[in-house]
Each structure stands twice: as structure tokens, then as C-alpha cells.
A = this chain, B = another copy of it.
Amino acid sequence: MAQKIDAQFDARGLSRRLASFVCNTGESDLPATVRNHALRTVFNGFGTALGGSSDQVVVRLAESLSPYAGEGRATAIGQARSFDPPTAAFLNAAAINVFDFDDTHAGTIIHPTAPVLPVVLAIAETRKVSGSEMLLAFTLGVEVACRLGNAVSPQHYDRGWHITSTCGIFGAAAAAAKLLKLNEEQTLWAFGNAAAQASGLVETLGTMAKSVGVGGSARNGLLSALMAREGVEGPPAPIEGPRGFLKVCCDAPRPERIEDGLGSAWEILRNMFKPYPCGVVLNPVIDACLGARAARNVDAAKIARISVRGNPLLKARTDRPDAASGREAQVSAQHAIAVSLMRGTAGAADFSDGAARDPAVIALRGKVEEIVADPAVPVEAAYLTIRLNDGTSLEVAETNASGSLRRPMTDDALRAKFASLARYGCPAIDAAPLARALWALPDTTDVGPVLALARPPA
């Protein structure tokens, strides 16, 4: 059929212009704030990969893929053996995202580092890439993923697309295209190859299959660019075409949001880091619970029932009273409330399979009676009412969750998170020199050797 565009959908040439943006943006085009936040983002994502690297889902995925992996010295973070670059990218994406402890882009809830960072790391182990070159490609990949996300939000996720995977593959392709020095036409083809593979369903969240989608977005985004380099051609309008990504995967796309402020307003600055290893909409709930326990001495044994009021996303995404596994617990408001009120902590160990099966936690979850969806409550706020056995009740509020744009994690907090995750997921490596090497990336002439610090002794 002819490449026609609806009258109201005047986005002709959008895919090509986005390819041009990726090709033609240089290191000097990135403001210092953007470069700094990109570095923080890489550091945070590397830490979550360390934390997730020994999780059963990553172990099982590695066991599934190992027999078919090619020769190659690409690092799967936290693992002794090496892999071919696409397989390493798959495993690193899964490890970064498995606990939902990675970064979150405000507005789309994309976790952009999971699909994008593994691609630039894998390429940096196949040829010499400087730290600043890597950070530029990473920043552009995040930009592409989040801008596509902006254009399809909120309908895309609401319908059931796992936006981290579906939009992430375009970011992965963009980052790979940049580091592989593809030209504009090849970058456009990489977007076409990515469009052919964009996938991921919300139905899989809370199960290991989520990581299959996220891992695939990194691997297949990298392959999209590698294929484009070999001349695998795509359509002229994979994003904005009549049967392209935007129209097929969104009931009311806003293509203009892809180019609005492109090159001046950087989406990575809207990227948040999570203090807790679970769905970001749970942050204010956990802040409120931890605060109540610490400051007001709430005793879990004396709680009769609990209700929580929050943004409608809280109910839509985390009303999961019977979380049976760590993965389900990470997207369960009931679990988050119970564990943080009872234990006074909300780290990786509190969202593990063991924590999900803790009878005391399960009992307290059962006292969460109600999750009220209130459109007037912003996503970074939550209000709890805790009724006690003696008939009294406590009102607990959090209006500005930690890890939000207005209250970002500090560099020191990121360092502590990194160290804690390394201890949890990968105690066999020495995390301190790795952390130092990552903070030094802007001045590093060759990123490849940094990856070696992320491998435990064989």
C-alpha cells in the first residue's frame, strides 16, 4: 500500500528526522547537567545489575541461552563467564530490571537504562569506546526511548504494553547505531528493524517472563543496528507510518511529542532513581510507612486495618494482595505496606521470595483493606490511615516521595545503594574499585576494561 499519512497526523519524515538527530548530535551538544545525570543514571543501573545478577531469573535465562551463545568476551555483569554481545546485552537488561530497582522516567514509567545501557556496554567490549562517547550514545538512546514513550502515553501502557520493552528497543537501537557510527539511512533502518521486534506485555509483570521481554529489547535493539549496518533495510516511516509503531501500539498517539524540544529539553533529566526495589508508585507508600514506624513507633502487632489513598496508578498497578514471589511482591502495595511497617526496611531482601512467603508479612498484608484511586493525588504522594486494635487510628502522609524529581537521590545515596546491591547480589566482587571506575567514566579512554571489574573470579 502507499505510504499515506492521515490529515491530522502530520508527522511525515519523523522517523528520518529522529535518525538524523541521533547521527548528528555530538558530545558538545549535551549540557553539563545532562552529562552528569547520564553518569548518575549509568552508575545507578550498573548497581541494580549487580543486585539482580544472581537472581533466579537471570540464572535461568543464562542457563537457557548459554548453550547457544557465541564466542565473545562481553561481560554479563556479576557473572564469571563471558558471552557474545547480544546475549550479554539480554542478560544485563534482565539483571538491571529484575527487581524493578532501576531508574524510572517520569511521565512514561519507562525504565530506560535496562534496554539501553547493556547495548553500549556490549559494544564497548568489542571495540575501543571512550567513556564520553559511551555516555553520549547512552543519553541518545534514553532520549529516543522516552520520547517514543511520551508519544504513546498513557494509552499504550494502559492497554497492556510493557513500555520499557516496547519503546526501549528503539532506544537500544539508537544507542547502538550511534556507537556503531551508522549513517542517517542506516539508523532509519535500525528503527525499522526495531519496529519489527517491538514487544512486551504488562500481563507478564510479576513473573519471570517480564525479563524475557526486557532482555529482548536490549538484545534485539542491538541486533537491529547490527543488521542495519549489514544493509538490512527497513521502511521509510517505521514510527509514524499508517501501520507503524505509533498507530498500531497506541489508540491516540501524539507524534508531535517526539520532536517537541528535541535537542534542548532532555528527557534523561526527568529520569528518577529508586530508593526501594519495587514499583515506583510504591515509593510514597513506603516512605510513609517507614516514617510512621520510625517516628511514631507503630507496632505491627497492634494494627487492625489499613487503607491507602494514592494516584490511580497505585491501584491500577499494585493492587496485588496475594503476591506469592519476590517478583510479585515488587508490584504489590499490600506487600510493600506490610514489610515496611513490620521490618522498618525496604531493601532487596524485603522483596525477595522469602519475604513474600513470610507468614507475618502475609498476615499484615491481609489487613490492607482498601486502595483508593484518587486522581487528585500526584504519583509522588500517598495517604495512609492505620487503624489500631485499641480503636485509635493514625493518619500518615507522604507528599514528596524520595527518589522523585523534586527530591532526587543524592550521589552519596546512590553510592550506598550501589554498595548494598553489590553485597546482596554479587558479594564475590570488590565493588569499591568498580564504583570508582564508573564515576570516572567521563575521563576514561577505553570503557571495556571497566567491565572486567564487574566479573567475579571464575
Alpha-carbon gap, A238 to B199, bound state (A): 13
A314, B398: Cα distance in complex, Å: 59
Chain A 193-236 interface 0/1 with B at a Cβ cutoff of 8 Å (1 = within): 10111111111101111111100100010011011011111110
Is A28 an interface residue, CB under 8 A from the partner?
no
Residues in B with CB closer than 8 Å to A161 are 248
Report the bound CA distance from A41 to B290 in whole Å.
Answer: 62
The docked-state distance in angstroms from the alpha carbon of A200 to that of B198 is 7
Inter-chain contact A244/B203, CB cutoff 8 Å? yes
Q: Does A294 contact B (CB under 8 A)?
A: no
- Residues of B with C-beta under 8 A to A57: 232
A67 to chain B: closest residue by CB: B70
Given the known interface contacts A68-B84, A201-B248, A248-B161, the answer about A192 and B220 at a Cβ–Cβ threshold of 8 Å is no
Contacts of A248 in B (CB 8 A): 159-161, 201-203
- Given A64-B229, A203-B241, A232-B61, does the pair A196, B220 have CB atoms closer than 8 Å? no
* A189 located at the interface, meaning its Cβ lies under 8 Å from any Cβ of chain B in the complex: yes
Q: Are B238 and A60 in contact (CB under 8 A)?
A: no
How many of these chains are in the complex? 2
Q: How far is the CB of A62 from chain B (nearest CB, A)?
A: 9
Task: Specify the chain B residue showing the minimal Cβ separation from A202.
Answer: B243
A48 adjacent to chain B (CB < 8 Å): no
Name the B residues within 8 Å of A247 (CB-CB): 159-160
Confirm or deny: A295 has a beta carbon within 8 angstroms of a beta carbon on chain B. no
Task: For A223, list chain B residues within 8 Å (CB).
Answer: 64-65
Q: Which residue of B lies closest to A196 (CB)?
A: B213
- Residues A60 and B227 in contact in the complex (CB < 8 Å), given A2-B320, A216-B220: yes
| Interface residues in A238-294 (C-beta closer than 8 Å to B) | 238, 241-245, 247-248
How long is the Cα–Cα vector from A238 to B212 in the complex, in angstroms? 13
Q: Within 8 Å of chain B (Cβ to Cβ): is A86?
A: yes
In the complex, which residues of chain B have a beta carbon less than 8 angstroms from the beta carbon of A84?
Answer: 67-70
Determine how close the nearest CB of chain B comes to the CB of A71; give it in whole angstroms: 8
* Interface membership of A44, Cβ < 8 A: no
A319: CB under 8 A from chain B?
Answer: yes
> Interface residues of A, CB < 8 Å — how many?
73
Asked if A87 is an interface residue, CB under 8 A from chain B, the answer is yes
**Interface flags, A163-178, vs B, CB<8A=1, else 0:** 0010000000000000
Is A85 an interface residue, CB under 8 A from the partner? yes
Assess A203 versus B64: contact at CB under 8 Å? Given A193-B212, A212-B232, A213-B196: no
Chain B residues, Cβ within 8 Å of A241: 203
- Kindly provide the distance from the CB of A329 to the nearest chain B CB, expressed in whole angstroms: 14
Is the CB–CB distance between A195 and B224 below 8 Å? no
CB atoms of A227 and B61 under 8 A apart:
yes
Q: Which of B87, B165, B209, B244 contacts A234 (CB 8 A)?
A: B209
Contact B226 A197 (CB under 8 A): no
A196-B212 contact, Cβ under 8 Å, with A84-B68, A233-B207, A245-B201: yes
Select A204's contact among B86, B192, B202, B321, beta carbons within 8 Å.
B192
CB distance from A133 to the nearest CB of B (A): 21
Beyond A68-B85, A201-B245, is A208–B234 a contact (Cβ under 8 Å)? yes
Asked if A243 and B201 sit within 8 Å, CB to CB, the answer is yes
Q: Evaluate contact between A196 and B201: CB separation under 8 angstroms.
A: yes
Contacting residues, chain B, for A210 (C-beta < 8 A): 196
Q: How far is the CA of A238 from the CA of B202 in the complex (A)?
A: 10
A72 interfacial contact with B, CB 8 Å? yes
Q: How far is the CA of A212 from the CA of B238 in the complex (A)?
A: 13
Question: Can you list 12 A-B pairs with a CB-CB distance of less than 8 A?
Answer: A2-B319, A160-B248, A162-B196, A165-B196, A189-B209, A192-B209, A196-B199, A201-B245, A202-B243, A202-B248, A203-B244, A207-B233
9 tightest Cβ-Cβ pairs between the two chains A and B: A160-B243, A196-B213, A199-B199, A209-B234, A160-B248, A202-B243, A203-B243, A68-B84, A192-B209
